[in-house]
Amino acid sequence: MRRYDVLTKVDSEGKPVSIGYPWPDGSVKVRALDEKKFEWSPPGDKSKIGLFGLDKFETGSHKYVTITEGELDALSLHQVLGGGPVLSVSSANNACRDVVAVRDQLSGFERIYLAFDGDRPGADAVRAVAQIFPPSKVYVVKFVTRKDANDYLQHGEGQLLRELWWNARRYTPENISSTVDEFVEILRTEPPQGFPYPFKTLTDMTYGIRTGEVVLLTAQEKVGKTSIMREILYKLLKESTHGVATFFLEETRVRLLQSLAGRELRKPVHLPDCPVTDDELERAIRSVVAQDDRLYVYSHFGHDDPDLLLDNIRFLVTGCGVRHVLFDHFGMAVIGRSGKQDERQALEYLATRLEMMTKELDFSLIAVSHLNDYGQTRGSHYLTKVADITIQAIRNPLAIEEKERNTIFLQIPFNRFCAQSGPAGAVRLNPETYVLEEVYDIQPANDNFPVALGQAKREAA
């Protein structure tokens, strides 16, 4: 108690009546001893309070950190372990919220031990918190004969509690079902309802955007992939309530926000001669985004460590409520590696981990990949294997007619969800409104156009 500056309040006769646990923000959580009752002094918003005890340990001073479900449990484990950071959430219900508030500090530890109560709320809290971090970091201390760490201590079983901590195992999700009742419950789950794409034909052929799936948008350079991604982003923000994260690695934040405001105003606001005021831009972006912590914009020029990107996405999904991630594009995430082999391996590692993560955390990923002149995904042919749906965008900049030059034809080479494939409509940028609209006045002249165009380029070179 002295190590954590915990104090006991006594009455006029010296009888202990309550315990005060000081939290890093300066507030004190007071627990009455005659009944299990808590109150905060001073009261107020505790949504970003973090973890009890975090201010008592220097960042980077230890390899491991342990998180418990209660302050008294943190004191108990700290005592039997003989030191080391042991922290606590404010409650099982708020465990995920409290951990997210200090996630950056916790990520610096080599291992994160979760020692929550051995009941259903504790198990639920373990699952929620474990998803916030890479699986390799999280270890679970399982309490079997007692409810929590302090319960072991009160029964004189400090040595057993220490052994339980040392025998903690890496967290693995409970992902095996084997009973008929479980199968029936799974089948009773409502079929996933996809969110519609901005283009009707594409929606009709795919049943929309579903969480738990990877959609790969492919095209050669300068076809209009980013424009399609912006239209999808705008529709998600305007017509859904879900959190959305964008990883547009080749685009600045200002250009992305200009595209959203311009889509709302139906004007090319990024052009210097566009007649638009700052007040109009502000009203437009407020109308599109609607509220704080709804749109998360990540921008980076140059390559990133794949694990850093994966960690950011995991945090946004588990800690910020993001349900849709737009990633543009795969190649930019690994560019600058020492060689083609290194880039390919990093690309395949990133794609594989993202595909697994969409299933684990139940979010949708819409990702972009460039095609080479042979119509194959650039950097690795493996990218199409991790996708649930592949959408190919095709445009012929060499066409004689302007209408054809400016039309993007959509095709679906692969559709795991409903097996529909083939032509999926055509879209064209409206020069007056700068809105990408579906059009029905033209058909692609050659279904194998990307390969044909690549051959033409090689012959010209």
Q: What is the pLDDT of residues 42-62, one digit of tens each?
A: 888 888 889 999 999 887 788
pLDDT for the residue 351: 84
Average pLDDT across the chain, whole number: 86
Is the confidence at residue 456, as pLDDT, over 60?
no
pLDDT for the residue 302: 53
Query: What is the tens place of the pLDDT at every residue in 147-197?
Result: 999 999 999 999 999 999 999 988 877 666 777 887 888 788 777 778 999
pLDDT for the residue 204: 92
Q: State the CB neighbour count (10 A cutoff) for residue 16.
A: 11
Query: What is the tens place of the pLDDT at every residue in 124-148?
Result: 899 889 989 887 889 999 988 889 9
Distance from C-alpha of 415 to C-alpha of 256, rounded to nearest angstrom: 29
pLDDT for the residue 455: 54
Distance from C-alpha of 422 to C-alpha of 411, rounded to nearest angstrom: 5
pLDDT for the residue 193: 78
151 compared with 336, residue with greater pLDDT: 151
Contact criterion met (CB below 8 Å) for 259 and 235: no
> Among 86-90, 176-180, 296-300, 344-348, which is the least confidently predicted range?
176-180
pLDDT for the residue 95: 92
Q: Which pLDDT band, with edges at 50, 70 and 90, does 339 fall under? A: low
pLDDT for the residue 239: 93
Domain ranges of the chain: 46-170, 200-460
Is the confidence at residue 350, as pLDDT, over 60?
yes
Is the confidence at residue 123, as pLDDT, over 60?
yes
At the topology level, CATH places domain 46-170 in Dna Topoisomerase Vi A Subunit; Chain: A, domain 2 (3.40.1360)
Q: Which pTM value belongs to this model?
A: 0.77
Distance from C-alpha of 398 to C-alpha of 80, rounded to nearest angstrom: 74
Is the confidence at residue 328, as pLDDT, over 90?
no
pLDDT for the residue 20: 94
Is the confidence at residue 220, as pLDDT, over 90?
no
* CATH label, 200-460, candidates 3.40.50.300, 3.40.50.1010, 3.40.50.620, 3.40.50.2300: 3.40.50.300
Distance from C-alpha of 210 to C-alpha of 214, rounded to nearest angstrom: 9
461 compared with 326, residue with greater pLDDT: 326
pLDDT for the residue 191: 73
Query: What is the tens place of the pLDDT at every residue in 264-305?
Result: 999 988 888 888 899 999 999 999 999 998 999 987 655 567
pLDDT for the residue 41: 86
pLDDT for the residue 180: 85
pLDDT for the residue 181: 82
Is the confidence at residue 390, as pLDDT, over 80?
yes
> Among 84-88, 207-211, 258-262, 346-350, which is the least confidently predicted range?
346-350
pLDDT for the residue 43: 84
pLDDT for the residue 84: 87
Closest CA relative to residue 208, chosen from 235, 230, 181, 237? 235
